[in-house]
Amino acid sequence: MIIEIPDEVVVHAPLSEQEIKLEVLIVLYQKRVLTLERAARLAGITRLDFQRLLADRNIPVHYDIADLEMDLRHLADLKN
């Protein structure tokens, strides 16, 4: 999907393409449209770095059973 941002928006909010992408991903995460892992992957950064961005903005991390199960799988993979 391609999102067009009018030039007047870019002029008044001089952000790079990556910064705009991060802003969109953060909002989608906040609205629970994206998981933490998916938002981080789409941003091209680690989950920890995405969590730091959220912390800098005082946005709570959503952590549910699915997240716990994923973390446990990752830990099991590391063990093997």
Locate 8 and state its tokens: 């007047």
Domain of 72, in residue numbers: 7-79
Angle of helix 17-30 relative to helix 47-56, nearest 10 degrees, comes to 80
Q: Does residue 2 lie in a domain region?
A: no
pLDDT on residue 1: 76
Locate 47 and state its tokens: 């989950």
Locate 49 and state its tokens: 């770095």
Nearest by Cα to 9 from 20, 21, 22, 24:
20
Report the domain count for the chain. Answer: 1
CA pair distance 40, 45, nearest whole angstrom: 5
Q: Does residue 24 lie in a domain region?
A: yes
pLDDT digit string (tens) for the chain, length 80 residues = 787 878 887 778 788 888 989 999 999 999 999 999 999 999 999 999 999 999 999 999 988 888 789 889 999 999 87
Q: Does residue 13 lie in a domain region?
A: yes
